């Protein structure tokens, strides 16, 4: 009888170990947000190993420093991430636990199995058109850029669209939080008779170059190289090439269209129409308002942001800017009690050539010079590029242009998704990548004005 009990206990222990191996996924239950988190657990040479994955933040898996599993209790920690997880194996497919980071603790219950975001609009192969990975050269920057060219089947002189992504390092699909808006746009337009070139930002994915040192003018140089490349393709109508730019990509479109009369059209999706510094002040306040931050705090934050941007814009040296920022921050209610080290950490990363150029960028330097056909779109729930102010400015800047069409979409956010608050915390939770009517309107406008 004793031997039987011992054997049973050993079997139970072995089974428990076997149950913990594999892939587990769940949501970190942050207030007003669910952040998917995946843990891959394996055992080799009698040692547990764990890999983490935050699928809406990055496509990469990362090693987790420490993992133990005893008495059905899983413990994982990582000093670099400053995170800890403790969970109890309730059954073969469910762990109940807590995730802590930065002094805060959240529920994270895990289910066994692979994680998959639900993105019902994402195009899937096989595609009903030509789909080719390509490279082209930006001779000015001496770099090669990599992308994907989609073209309708058959021969023709197809009108073509270059897609230019928004701020931040973006791949050719403008992938963000599990959404691939440029893949969707390319698919939709190509099915409707347009060639579409989308490409990785310089220094991102398969493209050469250094993204960290690039400004909006460098991105404009890359887009010019993309247009030049399209003009070498015999089945593309070189007289009907245009740019679709999203967010900062809209600034790129403005720069090029104001300088190059051969650009046939531009589509500005959530594109700034007001000066960058003013837009970022509006953006910060819009986010604060959506988060129900009190008006007095919003007013103090607005003053802080305005002065911060003023200092960054007035200095073409990082050292000078950071010195001035530090002196100013010492006088503010936000930071006056911080140590010098804490102030340095607060200022770190505020200044870069890219940020400075974004703040200095003024669409009014370009819009009045644009004579090609223009479609400008935005959503009323866009908190990053507020629709009311920016669309009004675009209309004013293009008042001379009789080929302008503006569309404002009620309830759509910066990604043109149907939104509740417009906060970026909703982006991943919304299954829609782009509201279908937006794709329909872009195509209709192109058919009426380009084909």
Span 215-267, pLDDT tens digits: 999 999 999 999 999 999 999 999 999 999 999 999 999 999 999 999 999 99
The residue whose two tokens read 């975001």 is 117
Q: What is the spatial distance between Cα 195 and Cα 88, in angstroms, rounded to a whole number?
A: 53
Mean local confidence (pLDDT), 271-283: 98
End-to-end CA distance of the chain: 85
Q: How far is CA 368 from CA 224, 247, 267, 372, 404, in A?
A: 20, 19, 16, 11, 12
Mean local confidence (pLDDT), 139-150: 98
* Lowest-pLDDT range of 15-19, 127-131, 278-282: 15-19
Cβ neighbours for 247, distance < 8 A, ≥ 6 positions apart: 165, 166, 167, 269, 270, 271, 272, 384, 385, 414
CATH of 2-112, one of 3.30.1380, 2.40.128, 1.10.287, 1.10.600: 2.40.128
List phi, psi (to 5°) of 396: -65, -45
Q: How far is CA 433 from CA 53, 131, 183, 287, 409, in A?
A: 22, 21, 10, 21, 15
pTM: 0.86
pLDDT for 178 equals 86
**Would you say 373 and 255 are in contact if contact means Cβ atoms under 8 Å apart?**
no
**Would you say 356 and 272 are in contact if contact means Cβ atoms under 8 Å apart?**
no
Tens-digit pLDDT profile for residues 21-63: 999 999 999 887 788 999 999 988 888 999 999 987 777 899 9
**Would you say 276 and 359 are in contact if contact means Cβ atoms under 8 Å apart?**
yes
In this prediction, what percent of the chain has a pLDDT beyond 70? 96
Give the strand order in the sheet containing 143-151.
Answer: 130-138, 143-151, 195-199, 158-164, 236-246, 265-269, 373-379, 404-409
Helices (H), 43-119: none
Average pLDDT, the chain: 94
pLDDT grade for 352, boundaries at 50, 70 and 90: very high
Is pLDDT of 15 > 60?
no
Is pLDDT of 370 > 90?
yes
DSSP helix/strand/coil, 117? coil
pLDDT for 9 equals 46
The residue whose two tokens read 């000015």 is 140
Q: Name the strand (E) or helix (H) holding 313.
A: helix 295-314
Tens-digit pLDDT profile for residues 405-422: 999 999 999 999 999 999
**Would you say 385 and 393 are in contact if contact means Cβ atoms under 8 Å apart?**
no
CB atoms within 10 A of CB 323: 14
The residue whose two tokens read 């669209």 is 161
Q: How far is CA 200 from CA 139, 183, 372, in A?
A: 17, 12, 26
pLDDT for 8 equals 46
Residue range 130-275+361-449 in CATH 3.40.50.1820? yes
DSSP helix/strand/coil, 280? helix
Is pLDDT of 355 > 70?
yes
The rounded radius of gyration (Å) of the Cα atoms in the chain is 25
Q: Of 248, 168, 234, which Cα lies nearest the Cα of 201?
A: 168
pLDDT for 45 equals 86
DSSP helix/strand/coil, 252? helix
Half-sphere exposure of 75 (CA within 13 A, CB side): 5
Q: Which residues pair with 38 in a beta bridge?
A: 25, 53
pLDDT for 6 equals 46
Q: What is the spatial distance between Cα 390 and Cα 278, in angstroms, rounded to a whole number?
A: 10
User: Do β-strands 73-78 and 66-70 pair in parallel, antiparallel, or remain unpaired?
Assistant: antiparallel
pLDDT for 10 equals 45
pLDDT for 17 equals 54
Cis peptide before 194 (omega within 30 of 0): no
Q: What is the spatial distance between Cα 433 and Cα 177, in angstroms, rounded to a whole number?
A: 10
Tens-digit pLDDT profile for residues 57-113: 777 899 999 999 999 999 999 999 999 999 999 999 999 999 999 899 999 999 999
Tens-digit pLDDT profile for residues 383-404: 999 999 999 999 999 999 999 9
Q: What is the spatial distance between Cα 24 and Cα 126, in angstroms, rounded to a whole number?
A: 30
pLDDT for 156 equals 85
Is pLDDT of 434 > 60?
yes
Q: What is the spatial distance between Cα 24 and Cα 359, in angstroms, rounded to a whole number?
A: 43
Helices (H), 21-84: none
Domain segments of the chain as ranges = 2-112, 130-275+361-449, 277-358
User: Do β-strands 404-409 and 373-379 pair in parallel, antiparallel, or remain unpaired?
Assistant: parallel
């Amino acid at each position: 009888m004793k031997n039987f009990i011992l054997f049973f206990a050993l079997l139970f222990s072995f089974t428990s170990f076997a149950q913990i191996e594999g892939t587990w996924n769940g949501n970190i239950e942050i207030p007003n947000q669910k952040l998917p988190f995946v843990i891959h657990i394996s055992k080799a040479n009698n040692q547990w190993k764990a890999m983490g994955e935050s699928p809406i933040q990055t496509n990469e898996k990362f090693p987790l420093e420490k993992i133990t599993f005893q008495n059905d209790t899983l413990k994982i920690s990582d000093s670099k991430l400053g995170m800890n997880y403790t969970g109890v194996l309730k059954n073969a497919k469910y762990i109940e636990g807590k995730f802590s980071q930065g002094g805060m603790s959240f529920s994270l219950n895990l289910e066994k199995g692979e994680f998959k975001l639900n993105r019902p609009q994402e195009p899937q192969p096989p595609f009903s058109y030509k789909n080719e990975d390509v490279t082209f050269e930006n001779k000015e920057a001496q770099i090669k850029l990599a992308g994907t060219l989609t073209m309708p089947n058959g021969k023709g002189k197809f009108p073509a669209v270059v897609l230019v992504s928004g701020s931040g390092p973006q791949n050719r699909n403008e992938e963000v939080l599990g959404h691939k808006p440029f893949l969707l746009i390319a698919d939709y337009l190509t099915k409707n008779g347009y060639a579409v070139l989308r490409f990785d930002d310089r220094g991102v994915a398969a493209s050469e170059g250094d993204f960290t040192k690039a400004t909006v003018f460098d991105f404009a140089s890359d887009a010019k190289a993309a247009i030049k490349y399209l003009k070498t393709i015999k089945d593309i109508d070189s007289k009907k090439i245009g740019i679709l730019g999203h967010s900062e990509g809209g600034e790129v479109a403005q720069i090029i269209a104001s300088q190059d009369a051969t650009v046939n059209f531009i589509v500005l999706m959530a594109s700034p129409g007001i000066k960058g510094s003013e837009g970022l002040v509006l953006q910060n306040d819009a986010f604060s308002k959506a988060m129900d931050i009190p008006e007095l705090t919003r007013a103090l934050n607005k003053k802080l942001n305005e002065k911060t941007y003023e200092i960054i814009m007035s200095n073409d040296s990082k050292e000078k800017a950071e010195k001035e920022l530090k002196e100013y921050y010492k006088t503010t209610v936000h930071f006056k009690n911080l140590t010098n080290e804490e102030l340095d950490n607060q200022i770190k990363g505020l200044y870069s050539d890219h940020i400075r150029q974004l703040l200095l960028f003024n669409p009014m330097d370009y819009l009045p010079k644009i004579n090609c056909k223009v479609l400008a779109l935005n959503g009323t729930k866009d908190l990053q590029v507020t629709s009311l102010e920016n669309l009004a400015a675009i209309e004013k800047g293009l008042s001379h242009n009789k080929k302008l069409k503006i569309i404002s979409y009620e309830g759509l956010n910066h990604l043109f998704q149907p939104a509740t608050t417009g906060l970026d915390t909703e982006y991943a939770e919304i299954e829609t990548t782009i509201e279908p009517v937006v794709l329909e309107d872009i195509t209709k406008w192109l058919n009426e004005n380009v084909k």
